[in-house]
Amino acid sequence: MARKFPPLFKYFPFSTPFSGCFQLSAVEYPQEKRFSMPRNYGILYLLYPLPAAVAEQNRRNPMILNRKHLTTLLSIVLGVLLVSSLLKWSGNYRAQLQEQIAASAGEGTDAAVPVIRYNRLSYFNGSATLEFMLNENGRWVWTADQSFPLDDTTIQTILTLLDELQPLRAGDVPEELEEYQLGASPVATLTASGESSSLSIRFGRETEAGGTSRYALLSEDDASLYILPADLLEPMSVAIYDMMDLPKLPTVDATRINFVRLFGKPLAEGGYETYTILTAQRPQLPEGQNLIPSDVVWRSNGADVTANATVQSLISAITALRIDKCVDYRPSPDAVTHCGFDAPTAVLEVDFLTEGGAEQTLKLTVGNLLPDGTGRYVRYGDEDPSLYRLPNDLLEALLAIAAAGLEY
């Protein structure tokens, strides 16, 4: 009894658009014939083994084998595309479902502060009230003195923390606000306002979790008590003078200094206790050779003082001078006297050449020691009335020469 070989696509659980085009012809073969794998027919026969009679026909007619290869390849590609589409759809659906679950889980527990473009910011940090605003040029300014050279880094930090704020509702507003330090004397307050919205925060005492969070009220008409992260209070505690864009002292190259003049304390009858001039002598080097600090010869009153350790320390300090803090932006006459500028401890003048070859003078007037001992009051130039701090490590050699002059 014989039977016919079924069409190719009967061996697959799905069909393709080409299933009606590429189909094997019916072939009569004996029932007792076993399936065999002709040589050189590849992986196709691992998918579905063919009877020997059909294999022999395929060997004689290669076109049939090529069609089977193409059909199998197209079927596999379409199957992979279908599986990929299902996986992608499943992933998107899962992500949307998780977002909906997270939104519903947080509803009624947290109050998200909307992201607002603020143009005014005012806060009380426990010791001072500071107010800032965006001017017509889009720059943050200190409302009390808009000419103050404000570095708005601290302002931007506060605004970023406000945008990321996620208050946690702790319950209703308690009847006894003083218990939470939210009454007449709160720990701190903050108000930020934009064109159409505003945010008001009143900070109270620390929560039971310690210094990482505090109780707070968000607005007067909000009947809830919240818990806020305490990290917002840190930038609010920065003093206004610590938010100043400090003047940058010119960069002085030791090989470009012409003169250094150093005056000690002034005398009542005129003149100074000491007066020291250092003159630089630079050798003529061959073309293409760069001058280094050790090539410079330093003279004072005609004497070679290059080897003097105090002179070398002074030159090194001049090249590293920096102002690291504003002490008083607009000092009163009493403050000027108190800080020692009626009779300054020292006056330093450095004549040097810029990289472009222009002559320039750096002048610093040194006053009294700061109360905390971290440095001395200084003034930069003759035009800037502000009082700054210069660290002690940059003043040791300067003060030593100003007090006693140079030993030759």
Structural domain contains residue 79: yes
pLDDT of residue 295: 93
223-263: pLDDT as tens digits? 899 999 999 999 999 999 999 999 999 999 999 999 999 99
Token pair belonging to 320: 């590293």
Query: What whole-number percentage of the chain has pLDDT above 90?
Result: 59
Q: Given pLDDT bands bounded at 50, 70 and 90, which one contains residue 297?
A: very high
**Are 38 and 123 in the same domain?**
no
pLDDT of residue 208: 87
From start to end of 195-233, where are the E strands? 198-207, 210-217, 224-229
Q: What size, in residues, is the chain?
A: 408
324 and 389 Cβ atoms separated by less than 8 Å: yes
**Are 216 and 285 in the same domain?**
no
CA dihedral 203, 205, 208, 210 (to 10 degrees): 90
Distance between the two ends of the chain, CA-based, in angstroms? 128
| Strand pairing report for 118-124 and 50-51 | unpaired
- Three-state secondary structure call for residue 254: helix
**Are 150 and 222 in the same domain?**
yes
**Are 259 and 390 in the same domain?**
yes
Range of the domain at 26: 1-107
Q: Given pLDDT bands bounded at 50, 70 and 90, which one contains residue 56?
A: low
Structural domain contains residue 249: no
Stretch among 44-53, 171-180, 257-266 having the lowest mean pLDDT: 44-53
- Three-state secondary structure call for residue 249: coil
CATH (domain of 232): 3.30.1490
Structural domain contains residue 72: yes
365-385: pLDDT as tens digits? 999 999 999 999 999 999 999
**Are 333 and 396 in the same domain?**
yes
* Cα→Cα distances 117→137, 195, 220, Å: 15, 8, 22
Structural domain contains residue 112: no
Rounded to 5°, angle at Cα 121 from 149 and 210: 110
Phi first, then psi: give them for residue 48, nearest 5 degrees: -155, 115
Helix axes 396-404, 309-319, angle to 10 degrees: 130
Structural domain contains residue 81: yes
pLDDT of residue 197: 78
- What are the residues whose beta carbons fall under 8 Å from the beta carbon of 251, sequence distance 6 or more? 319
352 and 362 Cβ atoms separated by less than 8 Å: yes
**Are 260 and 395 in the same domain?**
yes
**Are 59 and 88 in the same domain?**
yes
**Number of Cβ atoms within 10 Å of the Cβ of 116:** 17
**Are 131 and 88 in the same domain?**
no
- At which of 88, 107, 126 does a domain end? 107
pLDDT of residue 51: 55
pLDDT of residue 24: 41
Q: Is the pLDDT of residue 25 over 80?
A: no
Residue of 308, 282, 311, 276 lying closest to 295 (CA atoms): 282
Structural domain contains residue 6: yes
**Are 261 and 233 in the same domain?**
no
**Are 399 and 260 in the same domain?**
yes
CATH (domain of 371): 2.60.40
Distance CA 168, CA 227 (A): 5
Total domains in the fold of the chain: 3
Q: Given pLDDT bands bounded at 50, 70 and 90, which one contains residue 21?
A: very low
- At which of 53, 72, 107 does a domain end? 107
132-173: pLDDT as tens digits? 999 999 999 999 999 999 999 999 999 999 989 999 999 998
Structural domain contains residue 374: yes
Phi-psi region of 302 (alpha: psi -120 to 50; beta: other; left: phi over 0): left
Distance CA 102, CA 224 (A): 22
Distance CA 208, CA 23 (A): 79
- Compute the mean pLDDT over every residue in the chain, rounded to the nearest whole number: 81
- Three-state secondary structure call for residue 308: coil
- At which of 243, 262, 286 does a domain end? 243
pTM of full prediction above 0.75: no
395 and 341 Cβ atoms separated by less than 8 Å: no
Q: Which residue has the higher pLDDT, 320 or 69?
A: 320
85-125: pLDDT as tens digits? 655 555 554 455 445 434 433 344 455 554 557 899 999 99
From start to end of 71-177, where are the E strands? 118-124, 129-134, 140-142, 168-172
pLDDT of residue 206: 92
**Are 181 and 232 in the same domain?**
yes
pLDDT of residue 78: 72
**Are 400 and 263 in the same domain?**
yes
Stretch among 28-32, 189-193, 231-235 having the lowest mean pLDDT: 28-32
Q: Is the pLDDT of residue 43 over 60?
A: no
Structural domain contains residue 248: no
281 and 300 Cβ atoms separated by less than 8 Å: no
